[in-house]
Amino acid sequence: MADPKDVDRAQGGTFDAGLYAGAHVVVAGGTSGIGAAIASAFARHGATVVATGATSDDVDAAQVMPGLAHERLDVADGTAIEAFIAAQPRIDVLVNCAGITRRGGQEHELDTFIQVVDVNLTGTMRMCAAARAALKQSGGAIINTASMLSFLGGALVPAYAASKGGVAQLTKSLAIAYAADGIRVNAVAPGYIATRLTGALQADDTRNDAILARTPMGRWGQPDDIAGAALFLASPAARFVTGVVLPVDGGYLVS
């Protein structure tokens, strides 16, 4: 992962260190990987952040830093979501990063397909619906997490691809539905990002070489690359931006 100091220097001309001072940010799926980078970025820029993980182990293993708290939350549990949202003092930004995938063709099994879609797509909708009233009160923003597979097929991960395609369309639909409430709804679509979940791909020389060959910028993305896009989309600089699914992929989609 990129050194946060390097990221801050790169963002120096764009993001003020106190940009999110006083803001309360919720990051679902924010205890590791991309979600953790986003949660940390908001905290470094002044926000009070609550990042959630699906299990107690996820919460216990999460990075500790000022302004960042961690709680357990299963986005497949609507009752738990309602209680979690009700406990927040306010919500200025909701980031939906909670997601799963199942490798080795398991997603062709119907029960597994349903489980993945329930977490990735329906879980995102549960969070958005539960937080809508609080976001209306603050004039807040939602950032969902789409994927390259919102645009491309995935032969071995049909549930993941379908769910992320759904997240893209959900983002556009909620952008329209929530606009009258003063809520902006956008999504980031990460390309190939170096996280624990992509470790097997990075270690596979054939797959790794193919990914790098198609990526014009010639490298894997870092979680902080996605965090920068999230900071922008939630900021006043994007005040007239809604319904966007923003690829952050080093040019992978256009190559």
Identify the helix (H) or strand (E) that includes residue 79. Answer: helix 78-86
Report the alpha-carbon distance of residue 229 to residue 227 in Å, rounded.
Answer: 5
Closest by alpha carbon to 207, among 156, 158, 166, 161? 156
Q: Report whether pLDDT(9) > 50.
A: no
List strands edge to edge, sheet with 68-72: 68-72, 48-53, 24-28, 93-96, 141-145, 184-190, 245-248
Domains, the chain, with CATH or none: 19-249 (3.40.50.720)
Residue type, 241: V
Per-residue pLDDT, averaged over 112-121, amounts to: 98
| Residues 195, 99: Cα–Cα separation, whole Å | 14
**Which among 165, 212, 210, 209 is positioned nearest to 189, based on CA atoms?**
165
Surface-to-core class of residue 128, CB atoms within 10 Å of its CB (0-12 exposed, 13-18 middle, 19+ buried): buried
DSSP string for 24-51: EEEEET-SSHHHHHHHHHHHHTT-EEEE
The candidate with the shortest Cα–Cα distance to 189, out of 143, 122, 153, is: 143
pLDDT tens, 199-240?
989 999 999 999 999 999 999 999 999 999 999 999 999 999
Q: Is the pLDDT of residue 8 over 70?
A: no
Q: Measured between alpha carbons, how far is 10 from 84 in angstroms, rounded to an integer? A: 35
Evaluate whether 234 touches 203 at the Cβ level (below 8 Å): no
pLDDT at 15 over 50: yes
Q: Is 160 a catalytic residue?
A: yes
Given the residues 20, 160, 178, 252, the one annotated as active site: 160
Mean pLDDT of 49-59: 97
Type and span of the H or E element at 166: helix 158-178
pLDDT at 6: 52
Residue 1 pLDDT > 70:
no
| H or E element at residue 187 | strand 184-190
What is the pLDDT at residue 197?
A: 85
Pairwise CA distance, residues 124 & 104, whole Å: 25
74-103 residue pLDDT tens? 999 999 999 999 999 999 999 999 999 999
Cα–Cα distances (Å) from 145 to 49, 115, 170, 209, in that order, read 18, 18, 11, 25
The pLDDT value recorded for residue 13 is 46
% of the chain residues with pLDDT over 90: 91
Mean pLDDT of the chain: 94
